[in-house]
Amino acid sequence: MEGKKKKKFYGLLPLLGMCIFISSLIMNLLSLTAIGAERTRGPAVAGYFYPKNQSVLMEMVDQLIKDVKQKPVHGKILGLISPHAGYVYSGQVAAYSYSQIKNKSYDTVIILGPSHHVYFKGASVGNWDSYKTPLGNVRVNREIANKLLNSGGIFQFIEKAHIKEHSIETQIPFLQRTLKNFDIVPIVTGALSMKDCKEISDILVKIAKEKNILFIASSDMSHYPNHNNANKVDRHFLSLIEEYDPLIVFNTANNFLKKEIPNLVTVMCGLNAVVTAMMTVKKCGANGVKILHYANSGDVSVQGYKRTDRVVGYGAVAFYKK
C-alpha cells in the first residue's frame, strides 16, 4: 500500500513541476509588466503647471508661440535657455525660445534641469523608455542615456530626482508642438562645481558630435525680490550670459547674493544646467548668443491681480552657430 502511495506521488511530480514552472512564468510576466509600466515616466505637474486636458494644452502652447513676434535667429540653434514655472507665468517667455526651433529638425534633445526636490551631487540621467505628457509619449534615447550612465561616476540614475521634478517635464509639451521626429535625454542636475560642469560638458560634446542634438537648459532666474530689483538683477545677469563666458556666469551668481538684495535667494535656480549647456554648445560650434525675451511673474496679471512684492524672473536665450 505504501509503495502505491509513493508511486502515485512520484507520478504527480511532473505535473507539480509544470505548475511551479507556469506559476513562475506568470510571476515573471507580471514583474515585467510592472517594470514596463515604471519605465514610462508619467506627468507630475499636469493640471498644475500646465493644463492636463490635451486639447486645452495644445491650444495654449500653440497660441503662446503664435504670440511671439520676434524674427528667427539667423543661424543654426544649438542651445536654448527656457524657464520652467507655471505656463500662466512663464509660458510666454518659454515660447520665445521654442519659436526659434519650430519645424526645425533635431535627432535628440538633451534637457538639463535642476533638482527641486532631492539633494544629490552629480547628474541624474532619466533611465526611462519614455516621458508622458497629455500630448502623448516622447521616447528617451536609450543609447545616449546608457552611454552617459556607463561613462563614469558623474552620471547616475536617482529615480526620486525625476518623479516629481518639473524642470524637465515643463519643456516637453513645447517640444511636442514645435518639433516632429525627435527623442530626448532628461538630465536632472544636482550640486555641481565648475569642474563637474566641465566634466559633464566634455562627455556631452563627444556624444553631440555623433548626432544632430539640441541642448536645452531649463531655468528660472531671480527668486523673490520685488519687481524692480528682479528687473535689475536679471537683466544684468542676462548681459553676462550674452558675453558668453560660462566661468563668469558661474562665479557671478554667488556674488549677487552677497549684495543683500531684499528677499533674493537665488539668481538662477538652474545655474549648473545653464553653465553646462553654455560650455557644451560653445564647444560644439555655437558662436552667437541672443537674448530673446525677459519678464517676471510681476508682469503677469492673474484674475486681475499682479503681485510685484515677491516675484520670479524668466529669461529666454538662444545659442547659435552663425
* Per-residue pLDDT reduced to its tens digit, 146-157: 999 998 789 999
Q: What is the pLDDT of residue 153?
A: 84
The answer to whether 218 and 114 have CB atoms below 8 angstroms apart is: yes
Which residues in 247-264 are b (16+ Cβ under 10 Å) and which e?
A: eebbebbeebeeeebeeb
Say how many C-beta atoms besides its own lie within 10 A of residue 43's C-beta.
19
Whether the Cβ atoms of residue 112 and residue 273 lie closer than 8 Å to each other: yes
pLDDT score of 20 more than 90: no
Q: Which residues of 271-291 are buried (b: 16+ CB within 10 A; e: fewer)?
A: bbbbbbbbbbbbbbebebbbb
Neighbours of 109 (CB within 10 A): 22
User: Do 310 and 91 form a contact (C-beta atoms < 8 A)?
Assistant: no
270 has pLDDT over 60: yes
Confidence of residue 3 (pLDDT cuts 50, 70, 90): low
In this structure, of 31-35, 55-59, 168-172, 203-207, the range with the lowest mean pLDDT score is: 31-35
Among residues of the chain, what percentage have pLDDT more than 90?
A: 81
Look up the pTM and report it: 0.87
pLDDT band at 13 (very low <50, low <70, confident <90, very high): very low
Architecture of the 45-321 domain = 3-Layer(aba) Sandwich (3.40)
The cell for 272 is 549648473
- Report the C-alpha gap between 296 and 282 in whole angstroms: 28
Q: Quick one: average pLDDT of 61-85?
A: 96
- Considering only the C-alpha atoms of the chain, give the largest distance between any 2 of them, rounded to a whole number of Å: 98
Helix (H, G, I), strand (E, B) or coil at 114: strand
First to last CA, the chain: 94
Say if residue 16's pLDDT is above 60: no
**Please, what's the b/e burial string for 141-163 (b: 16 or more CB within 10 A of its CB; e: otherwise)?**
beebbebbeebeebbbebeebbe
> Which sequence spans correspond to the domains of the chain?
1-38, 45-321
DSSP E strand stretches across the chain: 40-41, 76-82, 108-114, 123-125, 130-133, 136-139, 155-156, 183-189, 213-218, 288-296, 313-321
Q: Report the distance separating Cα 322 and Cα 315, nearest Å.
A: 22
- 1-15, 28-42, 128-142 — which is least confidently predicted? 1-15
Q: Which residues share a beta bridge with 155?
A: 123
